[in-house]
Structure 1
């Protein structure tokens, strides 16, 4: 679990970095409005984040379980995205009359965008872990009942030597 969480965290930091660059370029350099800039920034960071956490953090590849993972990722990430976009947009609205310099307002938006992601970070991890963590069914022979089985977390299962 620690390895998965560490990799999830690193993937999240990379995706957040990508989103922040996009937010800065769109809002400050291209002068897009806060909602547009934060929405595009969020979407641009989401795709590499999904690919990194699926393959690198949880070690999933191929088609098995991919539909459920995509659906869970969209639902969980969209909830976090709505929060981030909403807070960033409200922060822009609040800062507009107080700070006229677009550069300083951009810094305020970046801080708001980062702060909005923090509260949902752990909740998002645990929600996604329920879907992304692959489980194997191992049958345990029993003298009385051959139908017993145990569920094992595949992230800790080691291959058997031949």
Structure 2
């Protein structure tokens, strides 16, 4: 579990970095509105995040279970994304009359985006782990905890003749 969580965290940091760069470019340089820029930035990070966590964190390959993983990822990520997009949009609305400089407002939006994503980070991990691990636990190379326990117990107990 520790290895999976570490890899999930690293993939999340990478996806967040991609999203932040996209948000800065779209909002500051291209002067898009906050909702559009945040939505696109969110999507920019979501696709590589799914690919990384599926293959690298949980070690799932092939088509088996992919549909359930995609659906779970979309539902869980969309809920977190909607929260981040909504909070970032409201923050832009609050900052606009206070800060004229678009660069400083961009910084405020990036900070808001990061902070708004933090509360759902663990919830998202545990929700996705239930779906992604279910597939991984059915492969012979990834025995479940109960299989490990059963194997250890059977070697300690005498066999009936």
Give TM-score scaled by structure 1 length.
Answer: 0.85
* Shift in Å, 1:21: 0.4
Q: 1:24 matched to which residue of 2?
A: 24
Q: 1:135 matched to which residue of 2?
A: 137
Contact kept, 8 Å, 1:137 with 1:152, in 2: the verdict is no
Secondary structure class of the residue paired with 2:138: strand
- CA separation in 2, counterparts of 1:137 and 1:43? 31
* Shift in Å, 1:136: 2.8
- CA separation in 2, counterparts of 1:152 and 1:132? 13
- CA separation in 1, counterparts of 2:139 and 2:17? 38
Unaligned residue ranges in structure 1 (runs of 5+): 139-150, 157-162
How many residues end up aligned between the 2 structures?
Answer: 143
Specify whether residues 137 and 11 from structure 1 end up closer, same or farther in structure 2 by C-alpha distance, changes over 3 A only.
Answer: closer
Query: 129, 134, 144: which one pairs with 1:152?
Result: 144
* Shift in Å, 1:63: 0.3
Unaligned residue ranges in structure 2 (runs of 5+): 149-161
* Shift in Å, 1:97: 0.4
- CA separation in 2, counterparts of 1:137 and 1:54? 14
Q: 1:67 matched to which residue of 2?
A: 67
Secondary structure class of the residue paired with 2:126: helix
**Alignment root-mean-square deviation, CA:** 1.7
* Shift in Å, 1:135: 1.9
Higher relative contact order (CA 8 A, sep 6+): 2
Give TM-score scaled by structure 2 length.
Answer: 0.85
Higher normalized strand content (fraction of residues): 1
Correspondence list, 1:91-102, <5 A: 91-102=91-102
Moved over 6 A (4+): none
Correspondence list, 1:1-162, <5 A: 1-133=1-133, 134-136=136-138, 152=144
Q: 1:143 matched to which residue of 2?
A: none
Higher normalized helix content (fraction of residues): 2
